[in-house]
A = this chain, B = another copy of it.
Amino acid sequence: MKAYKRKLDIRNGLVDLSHGAGGRAMGQLIDGIFHKAFDNDWLRAGNDQSAFTVPAGRMVMTTDGYVVSPLFFPGGNIGSLAVHGTINDVAMAGATPLYLSASFIIEEGFPLADLARIAETMGEASREAGVPIITGDTKVVERGKADGVFISTAGVGVVPPGLDLRSDAARPGDAVIVSGSIGEHGVAVMSKRENLEFEVDIVSDTAALHGLTAAMVEAGGAALRLMRDPTRGGLAATLNEIANQSKVGFRIDEDGIPMRPEVAAACEFLGLDPLNVANEGRLVAVVAPEGAEMILAAMRNHPLGRDAAIIGHAVADEHCFVQMETSFGGGRIVDWLSGEQLPRIC
């Protein structure tokens, strides 16, 4: 039925403006790349929106734009980030992610082969997570008016009855748990960007965390105050945000923060503070003291939480400072950055 006049040459072809024009070429691009990679009946139905059935209750919605540079990096590409990152923002509410949307803004001249690779990665990530991409949009802008491809995904999910995690819920005495070693995503992207090779491969930690968060909710939902994924700005920004929103301080212990030695070495080499470096498959949980061990144990039983650790606790502090006891025995304030350390890390 679909008699396209020109075959889509995925191996050698380039995206041109007609692929974003709403006509035949756009239909061909969507069929040949996105429908194929995402592979579900919602998209094939070809509506401008997709329908699904939900039970009565609380839902969450989130969105993120992805502009990572380079588009491909050790351990993933912009497509896996766009799926994992938005699933994680849903999961941080303790919710079960249900569906994703994806909006592509593509620069004219972008290789169709790269677009297909990104779409395939998104399809795989989405299938692996069990969260289908059910609706999307494609725009093309002239050469020099974008940088390869930008992706914005949105996600919706359902919140288990009775659960209400909030960024202002941390209380003095609460434990702070990190789900695993920090800094790997940021260092992987930076090493690719700077063309560095380290002796040990450092790959992005990009991963969908909703399985881990479901296990945490099941183990001790009542004790769980809030969860956040420390992406842009890293652990330092996340803890400072929570501190400001909850009107508490934090005391953390540098020695307690899980970090691979090669990441520590790379950060030293690159002049980065690992606390500011983005993670894409890690979470920070603030937990009432009585539930901390139970939730920690549940995390360690999950493949994405094996290295989970309690790194400190919340304290009463009207200045909302994040203070760290360093490995050398001293203390320092962990501030969030005013400026820009790692542009386009996600």
Binding site for B on A (CB under 8 A): 1-2, 5-6, 16-18, 20-27, 45-67, 69, 89-90, 92-93, 95, 99, 101-105, 134-142, 144-147, 150, 152, 154-156, 159, 164, 166-168, 228-229, 231-234, 237, 241, 244-245, 247, 278, 320, 336-344
Partner of A55, one of B56, B150, B339: B56
- Residues of B near A167 (CB, < 8 A) are 45-47
- Residues of B near A105 (CB, < 8 A) are 65, 67, 105, 150, 152
Also in contact, A60 and B50, with CB within 8 A (given A24-B336, A105-B67, A152-B152): yes
- Residues of B near A144 (CB, < 8 A) are 144
Partner of A51, one of B45, B93, B231, B244: B93
State A4–B43 Cα separation when bound (angstroms): 45
Min Cβ gap A295→B in Å is 20
Partner of A101, one of B45, B55, B154: B154
Also in contact, A147 and B145, with CB within 8 A (given A65-B105, A105-B152, A154-B154): yes
- Residues of B near A23 (CB, < 8 A) are 233, 237, 336-339
State A141–B68 Cα separation when bound (angstroms): 9
Asked if residues B21 and A340 are in contact (CB atoms below 8 Å), the reply is yes
State A150–B340 Cα separation when bound (angstroms): 21
- Residues of B near A166 (CB, < 8 A) are 45, 47
Asked if residues A18 and B339 are in contact (CB atoms below 8 Å), the reply is yes
Q: 22 A-B contacts, Cβ less than 8 Å apart?
A: A16-B340, A18-B339, A22-B233, A23-B233, A45-B166, A48-B229, A49-B62, A50-B60, A50-B62, A51-B60, A51-B93, A51-B95, A61-B99, A61-B156, A63-B136, A65-B103, A65-B152, A101-B154, A103-B152, A142-B343, A146-B146, A152-B152
State A101–B63 Cα separation when bound (angstroms): 6
- Residues of B near A278 (CB, < 8 A) are 22
State A168–B342 Cα separation when bound (angstroms): 47
State A121–B135 Cα separation when bound (angstroms): 26
- Residues of B near A142 (CB, < 8 A) are 343-344
Asked if residues A54 and B51 are in contact (CB atoms below 8 Å), the reply is no
Asked if residues A152 and B134 are in contact (CB atoms below 8 Å), the reply is no
State A141–B150 Cα separation when bound (angstroms): 10
Min Cβ gap A255→B in Å is 25
Min Cβ gap A52→B in Å is 6
Asked if residues B102 and A18 are in contact (CB atoms below 8 Å), the reply is no
User: Which residue of chain B has its CB nearest to the CB of A245?
Assistant: B46
State A247–B241 Cα separation when bound (angstroms): 54
Partner of A135, one of B49, B62, B247: B62
User: Which residue of chain B has its CB nearest to the CB of A25?
Assistant: B338
Asked if residues A93 and B147 are in contact (CB atoms below 8 Å), the reply is no
Min Cβ gap A249→B in Å is 13
Min Cβ gap A338→B in Å is 5
Also in contact, A18 and B61, with CB within 8 A (given A49-B90, A139-B67, A245-B46): no
Asked if residues B104 and A65 are in contact (CB atoms below 8 Å), the reply is yes
State A90–B145 Cα separation when bound (angstroms): 29
Asked if residues B20 and A343 are in contact (CB atoms below 8 Å), the reply is yes
